[in-house]
Structure 1
Amino acid sequence: MQITPLNPEDPLSLGDFELLGRIGQGGMGQVFLGESLGGEPAAVKVIKPSVVDSASRKRFAQEIEVLKTIWGPRIAAFLGADAEAEQPWLATEYVAGPDLARHVEKDGPLPSVLTAALGAILAEALSAVHTQGLLHRDLKPANILLGPNGPKIIDFGLAAFAESSVSLTAPNQVVGTPVCMAPEQAAGEKPLTPAVDVYALGAVLLFAAAGHYPHQAATPYMVFHLVTDPDAAPDLSDAPADLVPLLTAMLTHRAQDRPSLVEVVQRCRSVVEAHGLKIAQARRRLTAHTARQHTPVAPPPAPAPPPTVPFADLPTTPAPAVHEPVPTADVEVPTPTLPAPPATTATERPETRPPTTAEHVDSPEGPPGQRSAPSRPPKSPPHPAEPSRTLRHSVQARRTAERIRAAYAAGAPFVPSRTA
């Protein structure tokens, strides 16, 4: 799911939800990605200020009351709302994944076994909604999110009580998506029955498996005409052969001739089992398939760093030419090819501590590389990547530094070492 930055006019918070970005919009409002005080992500829907009036507030309040009664593992959960706020809003569970429409457009139709698994999942979810005395009435691919834990149904904004004249729309007004709308719903018949969601689910499964809808035309009016015409058969071209019988039954013109959602679940299971899988296996494959195909939206690229200007191109102030001092204390000085220095006395040695295992110093008591027993446990050897600092503390290194000082003393001032 693509997330875009907030616009300057967008609110920064609504209720207890901080708004983080935009994730979608519709005719009535904008949908934001929000986060609760406890860090719970949410999809926060806000009515556009241009359409906020008493009628829209009443409908929004009704929608909120309906959503409070809907629950189920495949339903995006209700998290909070305020219909009386200056900008009315409601928050539901955020599902991190593309909707079915975007997935099919980007990655192509689903295999028949995965489409059957999707059908079983959605039919079972809708059946649970129907037992609560509700209908969805606007099931479509854009309202099915393919999340990391499986598909979930969203947007019950047009939900209405089944077998009742109660409606969230004005009388004789048809609201919904024509390409997924049942004939009786398109014709404005009331009361509606659970068969409208069976038809819509059939249209969704046809789109998932074939990439098109039962009836398509140049204008919504022409689509309404095809949907309500009993002689216009649905277009099942490109649908997998093992799904055609089920889709034909679900998309039949007469509501009473369509199967129940329980029967849809059983027939979807039969298709899955005909492929040698169990329904649980097919569900897992569906989730893995959609998660693998979905590529998260990349964040915007970081701004390019400012161009680097070569040191030679920078403006400079003329200054007397001097020789650059030679560092001696912060870099390792390679051993020069010089005659061996004369033996030193104890008073010439710069340090009295016993050498560590990293400092192999010739000892007069033994052969080269052998040292006297220390008065304390030896230190651990340094990390292999740490450069040796033996020459910085040896008499030979100090004599070498003295010779370098003498060589450059006539031309440049000497910078004393920080540790010498």
Structure 2
Amino acid sequence: MKFSASRNSDTCHRLHLRSIDNGAVSNPMTLKLPHTLGPYQLTERIAVGGMAEIFLAQEMNGGEFGHSLVVKRMHEHLSKTQSTRARFDNEATLLEQIQHPAFVQLIDSGVDNDIPYLVFAHVDGQSLHELPKRQPEQAIAICADLCDALHHLHTTVRVAHCDVSPQNVMITRN
């Protein structure tokens, strides 16, 4: 799952929570890049997790997005397991329910060669873990924004993130 949160204030931060299944993968399918997945050209592998691989991508044929995207592609060996596939599909359903300007929206989802994938806007930023130490006021503002995002998630979609960590909080450059 990939989320973001922002707060309109003097210290405007845009926070992005991402949960990319950071577990180890046994026998992940290694795609030769670039690779075509549906209408997307996968150009760079960002992360490999227990359930999926995350790629930078471009929509082919100059589609309406016209910028970098992020594609989460389920591991092929897991796509054949009904319970794991249902979990991935449930993730897409939950992401579609999050309608808040602070959250990175799910742009598209699909299935290519019987392997499901999710498409998100690319977040130009870095993780909270990668950021240099902040002044206390900045750290408090970031924490407040994070709390707002999680509160929205809990009260509107009624789901707990369960993987909030400095590595999974993205802050945009602007």
Q: Same fold (TM over 0.5)?
A: yes
> How far, CA to CA, are the matches of 1:10 and 1:54 in structure 2?
28
Percent identity for Structure 1 against Structure 2: 27
**Counterpart of 2:155 in structure 1: which amino acid?**
T
Aligned partner of 2:40 among 5, 8, 17: 17
RMSD: 2.1
Q: Give 1:123's aligned residue.
A: 147
Displacement of 1:122: 1.3
Q: Secondary structure at the match of 1:134?
A: coil
Using the alignment, how far apart are the partners of 2:147 and 2:160 within structure 1?
12
4+ residue runs over 6 A deviation: none
Matched, 1:29 2:57: no
Query: Retained in 1: the 8 A contact 2:78–2:85?
Result: no
What's the offset of the Cα at 1:11? 6.3
Alignment of 1:227-376 (within 5 A): none
State the Cα deviation string for residues 97-155 of structure 1 (Å, max 9, x = none). Answer: 1111233xxx3x32211110101111112222223123222211122111123xxxxxx
Report the Cα offset of residue 59 of structure 1.
Answer: 1.0
Q: CA contact under 8 A between 1:47 and 1:89: conserved in structure 2?
A: yes
User: What does residue 290 of structure 1 align with?
Assistant: none
> SS of 2:57's equivalent?
strand
**2:68 corresponds to 1:41:** yes
State the secondary structure of the residue aligned to 2:125: coil
Match of 1:141 in 2: 166
Q: 1:317 corresponds to which residue?
A: none
Structure with more relative contact order (C-alpha pairs < 8 Å, separation 6 or more): 2
| Counterpart mapping for 1:219-234 below 5 A | none
> Where is the helix percentage greater, Structure 1 or Structure 2?
1
How far residue 8 of structure 1 moved from its aligned partner, in angstroms, is: 5.5
How far apart in 2 are the matches of 1:18 and 1:84? 12
CA contact (8 A) 1:28 1:48 kept: yes
Q: Which moved more, 1:74-83 or 1:110-119?
A: 74-83
Deviation at 1:71, TM superposition (A): 2.7
Partner of 1:86: 114
Query: What is the one-letter code of the residue matched to 2:90?
Result: Q
The answer to whether residue 137 in structure 2 is matched with residue 113 in structure 1 is yes
State the Cα distance separating 1:89 from its structure 2 match: 0.7
Q: Whose Rg is larger? A: 1
Could you tell me the TM-score, scaled by structure 1's length?
0.31
Q: CA deviation at 1:84?
A: 7.1
Report if aligned partners of 2:126, 2:173 keep a CA contact under 8 Å in 1.
no
> Structure 1 residues 66, 84: closer, same or farther in 2, change over 3 A?
farther
Q: Supply the AA of the counterpart residue of 1:128.
A: H
Whether contact under 8 Å (2:38, 2:112) holds in the other structure is no
Report the residue type matching 1:20 in the other structure.
Answer: T
Aligned residue type for 1:123: C
Amino acid across the alignment from 1:95: V
Instruction: Give distance in 2, aligned partners of 1:68 and 1:84.
Output: 20
Secondary structure (helix, strand or coil) at the match of 1:88 reads strand
Identify unmatched segments of 5+ residues in structure 1.
1-6, 150-420
State the 1:68 CA deviation. Answer: 0.6
Could you tell me the TM-score, scaled by structure 2's length? 0.70
> How many residues matched?
139
- How far off its partner does 1:61 sit? 0.8
Could you tell me how far apart the structure 2 residues matched to 1:18 and 1:74 are?
27
